[in-house]
Every structure is written in C-alpha cells, then in structure tokens.
Amino acid sequence: MSVFDTVRDTASEIKDMKIRGAGRIARAGASAAGEFAETYKGGSLEEFRKDLETARGILLESRPTAVSLWNGVQACTKDVCNASSLEEAKESVICNARLFVETSSKAVEFIARIGARRISDGDVLLTHCNSTAALGVIKKAHAQGKDIKVYATESRPWRQGLLTVRELSEAGIDVTLIVDSAVRSVMRKTDRVFVGADTVTSNGELINKIGTSQLALAADEAGVPFNVCTETYKFSPLTMFGDTVAIEERDCGEVAEKGSLPENVRIYNPVFDVTPAKYINSIITELGILSPGSVYDVMVRQLGEDIFKMRDNP
C-alpha cells in the first residue's frame, strides 16, 4: 500500500473519464488530496510537503485542459507553506479540501438560480456536451414552471449528449437529441444557448468541449444569445501572465474503432476548442452575470495580491 494509491486511483479515473465534467474532476481531485493528508503516515513536515507535491503532480497530469482540477488541488494545498508542524499541514489540507468541495457544490446551485432568470416561458434552448452548471440552469427554469424545449448535441466522439438527454428527460423536460453537425440548422429555432466551461482565460475566452466554438459562431450569425455557465474556479489565473491552455487530444480509438480504417489514415481527436470572447454574451457565475471583459478583475479580486507572485515567480 503506497501513500499515493488514492491519488493514483483518482487520477486514473479522471484520465479514463470515469470521473468527468470540469466541476466533478475538481471535486474529485480535492477529495483525493484531502484523503492523502488524512491517511498520510510519513514522518516530518518536510517529507509531507515533498510527498504532497508528488501527489499534486499525479492528479494534475490526468487531464491537462480543465483548470478546475488545478485550482481545486491548489485550493487544498495553498496553506501548507505556512504550517509549522506536520499535523498543522495535514489539517490545513483536510479542511481546505472539504471547504472546496462544499463551496464548489453550492456554486452550481447559485448559477442555476441566477441563470434560470435568463430563461423565459416558451424558450427553445440549445446545449452542448454534458455540463452540470448548464443543465442546472435549464432544470431550475423547468422547476420554476417555465415551458421550455431543449436541443442537446450528441457531442462526438465521447457522446456526452446521451447523458444530457437522459438527465433532462428524467427531469421531465422536452429534449431532442441532435447530431453535432445539425447545430446551425437548429439555431434558427433556438432562443438561447447555454454551455458549460472547462476553463475561462483572463481575457474572457472559453475553453470547452470540441464543437462549442461552432455553436457560438452559429449563434452569433443567428443573433441568439450564447451563455456560458461556470464556477469562477474555472477561471485560469496562469493565463493572466501569458500561459496558454493545453488542448487535450485523446486516443484515436474514441473516433474510429482500431483497425476499421486503412493504416495510412490519420485521426486527429482534440476534445476541447477555444471560443473567442466576442461570441460570448454572458458568463453566468456564482458571483453573478459577467461580461467576458470582466474575468480579469474578478480573478484579481478573488486571489488578491498573491496573484502577482505568479507573475514574479513563473
């Protein structure tokens, strides 16, 4: 039994997408960090700090695009540098992990309440992939008695849209599954688009499931409001100082069964894309509804002067 077993198991489930969704993977990463501290049997504070850094690295390499995982684990470990004993260090990780999971879950509820007010009775909505935050908004509007219809994309290659249509139909919502390439055809019947976020950059760009940028383009052409539903811990502070967000590419077998195509056919399988800020009408967060241009200020206010340590110590 290694001290890293729990984090390795969690990282493996995140990498294999047994645990998926930017919010869920952040909560899973934070819980694994908390459990690491709870079960840690090492000797000294220095050993704990070193082993915790190893555990952090194992978790963060599981899915490179969702900054939520980075922010979630960072929220757990941020006070260890101030601890003066092993017990104090462990306790800070355990408490911060619990606080992050609780706060993160509450944020989804706040987003649902705020975002549902942007949905009118009779609206036809369009969503992409399977976002807890976006579906929370849609389900809240339905629960308020608003008569809504929803189009949900299949979201190839992983087909998370099947999860979405099951979830919405179980909530009693009129939902229609469409193939991703039907988005522009359906857009002319759509009143509003709601999607989630894996990462939001400091200049208000959205990194989300591949195909999101095409929805945004079609929405802009049709004059349909494009709304991003996201917790602010998906905002990426590292992009403030020039970092770019890695776009995860996954196994080609997700696109076409191995051996089903000629050997010399290449498959390109990026699973996220970038939607420029100009296509985003609003970013619905637990702090309220933002414009893409205000993301930087929200991050500076939330992280305080510490944020400039990242600039000064890249």
Identify whether the C-beta of residue 289 lies closer than 8 Å to the C-beta of residue 282. yes
Q: Nearest to residue 68, comparing CAs of 220, 191, 231?
A: 231
Binding residues among 165-224 for ligand RI2 as defined by CB under 6 A: 195-198, 208-209
Catalytic residue among 76, 180, 198, 229: 198
Query: Does 21 sit near ligand RI2 (CB under 6 A)?
Result: yes
Binding residues among 60-79 for ligand RI2 as defined by CB under 6 A: none
Query: Does 22 sit near ligand RI2 (CB under 6 A)?
Result: yes
Phi/psi of residue 32, each to 5°?
-65, -40
Beta strands in 186-233 (DSSP E): 192-195, 199-200, 206-209, 226-229
252 assigned to active site: no
Query: Does 131 sit near ligand RI2 (CB under 6 A)?
Result: yes
Residues 280, 281, 286, 288: is their CA dihedral positive or negative? positive
Binding residues among 252-271 for ligand RI2 as defined by CB under 6 A: 271
Residues 204, 209, 215, 217: is their CA dihedral positive or negative? positive
Query: Does 160 sit near ligand RI2 (CB under 6 A)?
Result: yes
**Structure tokens, 8:** 């390795």
**Structure tokens, 41:** 């049997």
Catalytic residue among 9, 81, 95, 129: 129
Q: Which residues of 52-89 are buried (b: 16+ CB within 10 A; e: fewer)?
A: beebbebbbebbebbbbbbbbbbbbbeebeebeebeeb
User: In terms of CB distance, is 180 or 198 closer to ligand RI2?
Assistant: 198
User: In terms of CB distance, is 33 or 271 closer to ligand RI2?
Assistant: 271
**Structure tokens, 158:** 């992983």
Query: Does 286 sit near ligand RI2 (CB under 6 A)?
Result: no
Query: Does 281 sit near ligand RI2 (CB under 6 A)?
Result: no
User: In terms of CB distance, is 23 or 292 closer to ligand RI2?
Assistant: 23
Query: Does 133 sit near ligand RI2 (CB under 6 A)?
Result: yes
The binder of ligand RI2 chosen from 7, 10, 20, 70 (CB under 6 A): 20
198 assigned to active site: yes
What strand order describes the sheet that includes 199-200? 199-200, 206-209, 272-275
Residue 309: CB minimum distance to ligand RI2, A:
27
Catalytic annotation, residues: 129, 198
Residues near ligand RI2 (CB under 6 A) are: 20-23, 129-133, 160, 195-198, 208-209, 271
